[in-house]
Structure 1
């Protein structure tokens, strides 16, 4: 049976809706009466409005004060080009960069030998107890080339390491540690140039130094890394440990029990054990830092040892780690899958050795690698090793995949034996820009030198915007012809000792018996060093940045400001330490060199014009190392 209320609602539906409407109207009236009975509600609303506008006004006032009243800190203006000169001086193959004056721009450290310092400091060798001339360590501003500090540090420089962490009076600082001849050991504050400590070295009278200063873990528990110097005395390698914070020798001399050559390296195994590696004849020898520390002190060492490495070392006498195909010329630590691997460059091949089990991962036959390889990214985030195989007109640049040893890119680039070391800088696209040195005016901008099949050569005129290829044309054609390049009617601009390649330079070709000779017919001291830049995004192009006629002692490509600008730093001076002359330190911003550069095409054609290539190099952004 249906309920009576349901039945009524079904018979009179509109009547039921009217009742609900009356109930809702009644509830709304009661609500309004209750609101009218609360007089504090309008006051609360006004307070909220005032608080909102007041906070908005305060925020705008703060923004105004920060933006217009409080001055922003001055950003130092970094000059694109600067140069400083020292007369009647000699210099050393050493360049380092560090932010010394804390202006967020890298500064430059170098050594030179002279009777007196620069006019800004009026320091002489006798002020520090040295006879004249002596070795000065100097720091110059990377922004404008002004001298920040300089100080006589040794009678004659032998080894230098910058920076080395220091603890002085409870504060942390950094130093340049310099081992001088005869027998000085000095640390100079990196930021002020003050001498932190100075001691006579304890090397034997007939000792010859084999290595650079190697930074070791803190073995004497004084809070600073310690230092190791390897020497050879009576055909036996010995090691000297020194405290990094005081310069005092730790223990006595420790013999490694084997003869060796220069080029030592500190390697950390995947187990965290430290080993000293050095070439010995046609092999790679090693010594545990833990074992050396225990030998020189007669006490236990806090350092670790690696059982696998110890087994390999103890299985042979002398302590050999690897038998190399030929004499070892260079030894490098390179990133591996599990820690660091070893790259060995011998007189016959380049070999990548696994850093744990010492097994070869790949071998590349290269018989004339006379320069230390460099690392860079040919592909995004994939490391490549760059080697220079051959000398003179037979020199080749090869990019090898670090993980497989496969050739990624190669190019003939004739050079001089005195050319500086190549360099690389990471770019924002996770590749690298590579800087190479070669012969001045390898190819003309208006003519191409082509190699014939016999003993003859010929030239072919080209359009002005087209550029020649560097390939077989850079080879020697035969006994009666030299594919040299004699500059005629050249147009160059000289700035600060550097000659920029002009857009209208032309080259001529002369036979070996003619009066005009190519660059390869000149003496090395008369030839010019040419700086080229290469980026993997343009694999068919080299950019000739500048030409230098001075003797270049050291060269670095440096990112002076993070993500802002890269520059080339050159240390130039006399070729012989026995003939003092002009010593110069110069900086050249890479982007400023690009507009006047010369585009050298490595292959025929190309989708971009020369100006488009320059524009792409000008837009390159550089990044700091991770």
Structure 2
């Protein structure tokens, strides 16, 4: 029986279906909010199939701009979301770089292949370019970063991380033709580091522990990128200008992906991480982005879901942090009722001004499989959307129940929240409640 696949977009106001569009195969990645004509954001969704399809649709209507059904060579699968590039073929539209890997990984000598794709038509620009790399573990990237001299690089690797300039990939994909103006910039500071490397790749990270995650961050004090590398038990920050380590934080087993946000007032990104130590003890930590030192921690004797944490910008320049966890051992300031004693997951909010108080905003009976946050700018409010699995409705034919999508407005949730204290708090409940009720969430920080 032929599998029918479609993509649906839900209204953030009431959850109604705004539009659907068909797909020729199951999807591996979806990326929305991309500019199509260079005239703003939010006009395109890119749909990436599990093996061969690439499709661009209008994010407002779902209508198709173009579709390519043979974007990858045979026996290869997509490695990650397409890397968004400036216009490289001169048609006025931003273009893309797609990475793919072998469908079956048999040995330590592995490869990543790249191909340029026109953002206007989906047509390939030049030939695929393949790099062999040695490593083990999950594939990292490909992701783009900007060097200290403004040159664009692609980062990727299996457990280790290598870099290659988009300029070099383009030269190999399109022969000796002239370079597009968007790729003219070079970075001699970085290029000398790869001299003698026969693969032509720049080594970024090759530590004893395999890299599990790589985040490309806006650089501190410049237009270049900083890199945050996560291994099983370590965070390492590299300053992008020279790719030199600034600090590393070593701890217990790190779950999920670190969440960047501003906890203190030094205007340097800090990071929320969740870790597991002995006897399945869970901790949430805030790591100082300037030094790698611990700024805050809470021990959670419960299940955590570190991959679904987030941060929301506040009007004072700091961030509120959100994370999902099971029932914690701390006692709420308000009297507990029997309805609070469940085995579900709870959405907690942490504010830097009250580090010893968590707000319990929402509860889910099933695990959270995906989530997203956003800002209602006019209301100075924020929302959190969670996708959960209702395991109570699972059947003998399927271990999974139906998916549920829930939208939580943070201001309303704060008014109805329960407080959880991590230490004794001398401030009155009324004062804390008033403070949180006056929070303003925004995308543009007020100076």
Map Cα deviations across residues 478-509 of structure 1 (whole Å, 9 max, x no partner): xxxxxxxxxxx9443xxxxxxxx4xxxxx6xx
Matches within 5 A, 1:88-167: 131-134=2-5, 136-167=6-37
Aligned with residue 293 of structure 1, among 162, 170, 173: 170
The structure showing larger relative contact order (alpha-carbon pairs under 8 Å, at least 6 residues apart) is 1
Give the equivalent residue in structure 2 for 1:323: 206
Give the equivalent residue in structure 2 for 1:412: 299
Larger deviation, residues 413-422 vs 211-220: 413-422
Give the equivalent residue in structure 1 for 2:344: 528
Matched, 1:183 2:2: no
Alpha-carbon distance between aligned partners in 2 of 1:311 and 1:578, rounded to the nearest angstrom: 55
Q: Whose helix proportion is higher, 1 or 2? A: 1
Shift of 1:300: 3.3
- Structure 2 counterpart SS, 1:373: strand
- Structure 2 counterpart SS, 1:592: helix
TM-score after normalising by structure 2: 0.86
Map Cα deviations across residues 60-82 of structure 1 (whole Å, 9 max, x no partner): xxxxxxxxxxxxxxxxxxxxxxx
Alpha-carbon distance between aligned partners in 2 of 1:158 and 1:412, rounded to the nearest angstrom: 35
Give the equivalent residue in structure 2 for 1:243: 118
Aligned with residue 186 of structure 2, among 290, 305, 308: 305
Aligned with residue 385 of structure 2, among 545, 569, 585: 569
Alpha-carbon distance between aligned partners in 2 of 1:563 and 1:624, rounded to the nearest angstrom: 12
Q: Is the 8 A contact 1:237 1:259 kept in 2?
A: no
The unaligned stretches of length 5 or more in structure 2 are: none
- Structure 2 counterpart SS, 1:422: strand
- Structure 1 counterpart SS, 2:415: coil
Q: CA RMSD in A?
A: 2.8
- Structure 1 counterpart SS, 2:191: helix
Give the equivalent residue in structure 1 for 2:262: 377
- Structure 2 counterpart SS, 1:421: strand
Give the equivalent residue in structure 1 for 2:274: 388
- Structure 2 counterpart SS, 1:372: strand
Give the equivalent residue in structure 2 for 1:200: 69
Alpha-carbon distance between aligned partners in 2 of 1:528 and 1:172, rounded to the nearest angstrom: 37
Matched, 1:617 2:427: no
Map Cα deviations across residues 243-296 of structure 1 (whole Å, 9 max, x no partner): 111111111110123256423121110211111111333x32111111111111
Shift of 1:378: 1.1
Aligned with residue 400 of structure 1, among 287, 297, 304: 287
Give the equivalent residue in structure 1 for 2:231: 346
Q: Is the 8 A contact 1:393 1:413 kept in 2?
A: no
Give the equivalent residue in structure 1 for 2:410: 590
Q: Is the 8 A contact 2:302 2:328 kept in 1?
A: no
Map Cα deviations across residues 568-613 of structure 1 (whole Å, 9 max, x no partner): 1112247899656422222111222223322111112x22233432
Matched, 1:252 2:71: no
Tell me: CA distance 1:312–1:422, structure 2 relative to 1, closer, same or farther (3 Å): same
Alpha-carbon distance between aligned partners in 1 of 2:363 and 2:40, rounded to the nearest angstrom: 45
Q: Is the 8 A contact 1:313 1:321 kept in 2?
A: no
Give the equivalent residue in structure 2 for 1:440: 327
Matches within 5 A, 1:498-537: 501=340, 527-537=343-353
Matches within 5 A, 1:443-522: 443-445=330-332, 465=333, 490-492=337-339, 501=340
Map Cα deviations across residues 307-365 of structure 1 (whole Å, 9 max, x no partner): 12211123434422333241001111223223221111123421111212121111111
Tell me: CA distance 1:580–1:491, structure 2 relative to 1, closer, same or farther (3 Å): closer
Shift of 1:156: 0.2
The unaligned stretches of length 5 or more in structure 1 are: 1-129, 446-464, 468-488, 493-500, 502-506, 508-518, 520-526
Alpha-carbon distance between aligned partners in 1 of 2:43 and 2:416, rounded to the nearest angstrom: 40
Q: Is the 8 A contact 1:540 1:601 kept in 2?
A: yes
Tell me: CA distance 1:221–1:398, structure 2 relative to 1, closer, same or farther (3 Å): same
Larger deviation, residues 543-552 vs 566-575: 566-575
Alpha-carbon distance between aligned partners in 2 of 1:439 and 1:563, rounded to the nearest angstrom: 30
Matched, 1:222 2:42: no
- Structure 1 counterpart SS, 2:14: coil
Number of aligned residue pairs: give it.
422
Alpha-carbon distance between aligned partners in 1 of 2:76 and 2:302, rounded to the nearest angstrom: 35
Shift of 1:415: 4.4
Aligned with residue 267 of structure 1, among 141, 145, 153: 145
Q: Is the 8 A contact 1:377 1:430 kept in 2?
A: yes
Matches within 5 A, 1:22-101: none
Alpha-carbon distance between aligned partners in 2 of 1:585 and 1:272, rounded to the nearest angstrom: 41
Shift of 1:417: 5.7
Q: Is the 8 A contact 1:569 1:585 kept in 2?
A: yes
